[in-house]
Amino acid sequence: MTTKPDPLTRREREIMDILHRRGRATAHEVLADLAEPPSYSSVRTFLRLLEERGHVRHQQDGKTYVYTPTVARRDAQRSALAHLVETFFDGSVEDAVATLVEASKPKLSTPELERIATLVAKAKKEGR
């Protein structure tokens, strides 16, 4: 049985981004890095909830908790992307990729387009 990814709220994603970027952080450090930060107690609550759901863990350094992500950034990205494809594209990877390429056309360089074409060709060859 496949379990659905545990979707994160916008604020939880921001906190996880900070933890992935820093590698480890205290609640004060997370608070300092947040755009439009909530209260310190809200940040601590978010971190506690993320820990309860298995996204982060903490180590105690004196009286301070230092938080680290439990999932590699790449794995978190894949989980979030799978949730996005399922939620907004009814599970259609083709529709998601087409939308992304169409919306990004002006920003995509020739090397980026070549890499995408190579990935598609490789997937075809491997029979995916």
- CATH number, position 28: 1.10.10.10
Phi and psi, residue 3, nearest 5° = -95, 145
Are 65 and 102 found together in one domain?
Answer: no
Q: Which of helix, strand or coil describes residue 1?
A: coil
Residue 26 lies in a domain: yes
Give, in order, the Cα–Cα distances in Å from 40 to each of 29, 43, 52, 60, 77.
10, 5, 18, 18, 27
Are 126 and 96 found together in one domain?
Answer: yes
- Token readout for 58 is 């903490």
Domain that holds residue 126: 90-128
How many domains, the chain?
2
Mean pLDDT for the chain overall:
90
**Mean pLDDT to the nearest integer, 75-87:** 86
Are 65 and 105 found together in one domain?
Answer: no
Residue 95 lies in a domain: yes
Are 19 and 55 found together in one domain?
Answer: yes
Are 19 and 63 found together in one domain?
Answer: yes
Q: Tell me the pTM.
A: 0.69
Residue 58 lies in a domain: yes
State the pLDDT confidence band at 112, using cuts at 50, 70 and 90: very high
Tens-digit pLDDT profile for residues 29-66 = 999 999 999 999 999 999 999 999 999 999 999 999 99
Are 16 and 48 found together in one domain?
Answer: yes
CA distance 13 to 43: 12
CA distance 52 to 16: 14
Residue 48 lies in a domain: yes
Q: Is pLDDT at 4 greater than 80 in this prediction?
A: no
Give, in order, the Cα–Cα distances in Å from 62 to each of 43, 48, 56, 58, 114.
19, 18, 19, 12, 51
